[in-house]
C-alpha cells in the first residue's frame, strides 16, 4: 500500500495551489459577496486545461486520473468552493459523453468542451424528483427524425453556459421497469423552446449559476441521443455520478482543510485571559478532532479515486467518501466558527463562507441518507466487503 501522491501528482497539486493562492483567494470574499461571476478565473482554468480533466487525450483533453481530479476539486475548494462547481458538472458530463457517446458525438462535442471554448452541465433534478430519478416527468417523444422534449429541470449548475446540456428524459413513459424507458439527450442551448427561466437563490455555493430550466416542445435530432440507443440513460447517469461523488467529496475535503487552517491560525493569534487560545485544552481538543477527521476523510477520497482508477466498481467507496467527507466539512466549518467566536459569524472572515458552503456537499450528488442505503446494499449483497 502506498499512501503518498506520485511525483507528478504532487507537482500538479503545487501548480493548483499556486493558482488558488494567487488568483482565487484574493478575490473570493469580495466577488462572492457581490454575486460576481468569476470570468477571469474561468479564463485561467481554460488556459490550464482544467476543462479537459475527464476528456481523452485524442480529443484534446487531459485524461486525468481520478486522484488528480480529486486534487483539483480539493485545492480549488480551499480557495472558493463555488469555483469548483463550475468544473464539477462540466467534468461529469464530459466523462459521460466520453464513456457513452457515439464516435460522432465525441468528435462533435469533446474538443470544444476540453478547451473550455464551450462548457456543459447535466440536467437531472426536477421540482418533483431529486434523489428518485426514476420519478422524473420530463419526456422526449419520438417524432420524425428526432425527439421533442417537454419538462422542467431545476438546480442545474452551469445552465446558462452549457452547450450542449445533457438532459435525462423518459423516451418511453410506459416502460416497465421505469429505467428501461429513460434516455439522455444532448440539447443545444440555442434550440427553440429551451429556456433558462431563473437563477435560484442559495445560502452558499455562490459563483456558478444554479438555475431552473424549461423545455417546451424542444426539438433535437436523433443524433442527440447519447450513445444512440434508447433506454440506457439511467445507467449512464448513475455511472457518471460515481465520479461526481469523488469530486464532491474532494470539495468537502478542501472546505474542511480550509476550516482547519483558519481555526489553527486564529487560535495561534487570538489572546484571552493572558494567553493564546491555542493553549487552552478545550481549543486543543477541537483542533485535534478536526485534524484527525480531516485526514481520515482525505484518505477515504483518495481510496475511492484509486479504486476507480483501477477500473473496479466504486459505488460503495465513492459513497463512503462523499458521506464522510461532507459531514466532516460541516463539522469542521462549525468548529472553526466556534473557535473564532463572534468573528466567525462575520462575513469579513472566511469561516462564515465555509459554514454556508459546507451543507451543499451533504445534499448534492445524492443525499447522504440515500448514499447510506447504497453503501448498505453493497455490504448486504456481498458485492463489497470491509476488513
Q: How far apart are CA 242 and CA 99, in angstroms?
A: 13
319 φ, ψ to 5°? -65, -45
Q: How far apart are CA 287 and CA 293, in angstroms?
A: 10
| Residue 273 exposed, middle or buried by CB count within 10 Å (0-12, 13-18, 19+) | exposed
> Is the sign of the CA dihedral 277, 280, 285, 288 positive or negative?
positive
Sequence-distant (≥ 6) Cβ neighbours of residue 196 within 8 angstroms: 159, 160, 211, 212, 213
**Among the listed residues 331, 338, 330, 323, the one whose alpha carbon sits nearest the alpha carbon of residue 372:** 323
Kind plus residue range of the DSSP H or E element containing 124: none
In the residue annotation, 195 being an active-site residue is answered as no
| Residue 261 exposed, middle or buried by CB count within 10 Å (0-12, 13-18, 19+) | middle
Catalytic residue among 74, 212, 327, 365: 365
List active site positions.
365
Amino acid at each position: 500500500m502506498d499512501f503518498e501522491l506520485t511525483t507528478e501528482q504532487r507537482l500538479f497539486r503545487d501548480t493548483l495551489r499556486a493558482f488558488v493562492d494567487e488568483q482565487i483567494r484574493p478575490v473570493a470574499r469580495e466577488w462572492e459577496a457581490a454575486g460576481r461571476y468569476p470570468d477571469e478565473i474561468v479564463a485561467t482554468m481554460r488556459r490550464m486545461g482544467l476543462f479537459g480533466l475527464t476528456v481523452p487525450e485524442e480529443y484534446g483533453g487531459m485524461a486525468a486520473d481520478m486522484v488528480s481530479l480529486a486534487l483539483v476539486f480539493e485545492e480549488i475548494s480551499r480557495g472558493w468552493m463555488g469555483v469548483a462547481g463550475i468544473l464539477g458538472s462540466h467534468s461529469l458530463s464530459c466523462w459521460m459523453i466520453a464513456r457513452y457517446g457515439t464516435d460522432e458525438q465525441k468528435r462533435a462535442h469533446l474538443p470544444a468542451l476540453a478547451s473550455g471554448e464551450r462548457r456543459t452541465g447535466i440536467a437531472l433534478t426536477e421540482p418533483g424528483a431529486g434523489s428518485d430519478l426514476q420519478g422524473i416527468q420530463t419526456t422526449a417523444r419520438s417524432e420524425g427524425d428526432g425527439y421533442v422534449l417537454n419538462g422542467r429541470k431545476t438546480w442545474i449548475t452551469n445552465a446558462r453556459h452549457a452547450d450542449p446540456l445533457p438532459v435525462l428524459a423518459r423516451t418511453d413513459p410506459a416502460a416497465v421497469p421505469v429505467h428501461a424507458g429513460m434516455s439522455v439527450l444532448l440539447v443545444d442551448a440555442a434550440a427553440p423552446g429551451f429556456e433558462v427561466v431563473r437563477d435560484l437563490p442559495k445560502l452558499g455555493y455562490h459563483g456558478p449559476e444554479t438555475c431552473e430550466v424549461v423545455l417546451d416542445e424542444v426539438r433535437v435530432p436523433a443524433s442527440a441521443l447519447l450513445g444512440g440507443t434508447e433506454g440506457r440513460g439511467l445507467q449512464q447517469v448513475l455511472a457518471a455520478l460515481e465520479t461526481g461523488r469523488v469530486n464532491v467529496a474532494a470539495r468537502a475535503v478542501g472546505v474542511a482543510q480550509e476550516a482547519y487552517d483558519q481555526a489553527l491560525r486564529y487560535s495561534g493569534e487570538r489572546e484571552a485571559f493572558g494567553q493564546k487560545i491555542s493553549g487552552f485544552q478545550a481549543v486543543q481538543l477541537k483542533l485535534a478532532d478536526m485534524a484527525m477527521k480531516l485526514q481520515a476523510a482525505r484518505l477515504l477520497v483518495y481510496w475511492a479515486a484509486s479504486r476507480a482508477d483501477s477500473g473496479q466498481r466504486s459505488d460503495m467507496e465513492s459513497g463512503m467518501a462523499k458521506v464522510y467527507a461532507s459531514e466532516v466539512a460541516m463539522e469542521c466549518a462549525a468548529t472553526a466558527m466556534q473557535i473564532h467566536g463572534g468573528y466567525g459569524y462575520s462575513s469579513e472572515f472566511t469561516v462564515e463562507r465555509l459554514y454556508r458552503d459546507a451543507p451543499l456537499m451533504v445534499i448534492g450528488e445524492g443525499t447522504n441518507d440515500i448514499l447510506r442505503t447504497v453503501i448498505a446494499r453493497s455490504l448486504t449483497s456481498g458485492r463489497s466487503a470491509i476488513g
